[in-house]
Amino acid sequence: MSVFSHLREKMVGSMVNKQTQAFKEHFTNHINTLSNLPVFNFPVFVEQMREQAKKGGVMGWKSFLPNAPTEKAPEAKEIKAVLQLCDEALKQGIANIEQATFQDKLKLSKAAQQDVGDVNVLLRKYLSAKAMHDWVQRRKSAGLPLPESQEDMMTMLKETPMKLPPEVTKFAKKTQKQSMKEFAKARYGK
């Protein structure tokens, strides 16, 4: 083993540790923010999405750095599309995306130049975030500890499950079935 490979391994290990620590801090901050929010609504969700985009380097000054997600990265495209829909929804006065009719969604998608499916993705993201807020609030009001890591959260979700709305669970089941079919097709050629 050469000196350079040892240094490289050490640097990579250090970077992974820093990323892991940063992720844990972000997770803890997010849980604390949710626990201190008395009400979670669409404008709060939009603000959180903007903050995540800035921290993730999709927007703001970090987007100009060499390792920032590019326009071509799927996650960057999705975040930008969701933010564009969020901004358009707020412009149109849609403060409660849950109660938007199909006509509202169609009008919103046309104004933002997105598909109606993207509006449904936005709705699922919002409903999932709202369910997370409700779960954190229930744990806090019951005097139960809040998760400090994703592992803690997975354990705690077994004790007190999150109440996901039907739109989210139906989509999750559909996606799971689709991925299982793709797996079977790839593996067995059926």
- Torsion angles phi and psi, residue 100, rounded to 5: -70, 135
- 123, 98 Cβ separation under 8 angstroms: yes
- Torsion angles phi and psi, residue 39, rounded to 5: -135, 135
**Token digits for 21?**
């620590």
- 104, 94 Cβ separation under 8 angstroms: yes
- pLDDT in single tens digits along all 190 residues of the chain: 565 666 677 766 676 677 777 778 888 888 888 889 999 999 999 998 888 887 766 555 444 455 555 555 566 777 888 888 998 998 988 888 888 888 888 899 899 888 888 888 888 889 989 999 999 999 899 898 999 888 888 898 888 888 777 766 665 566 666 666 776 777 677 5
Residues in the chain: 190
What distance in Å separates the CA atoms of residue 54 and residue 111, rounded to the nearest whole number?
24
Task: List the domain boundaries for the chain.
Answer: 1-36, 39-142+160-165
Which of 1.10.260, 1.10.3470, 1.10.101, 1.10.530 would CATH assign to domain 39-142+160-165? 1.10.260
**Token digits for 71?**
């326009």
- 87, 122 Cβ separation under 8 angstroms: no
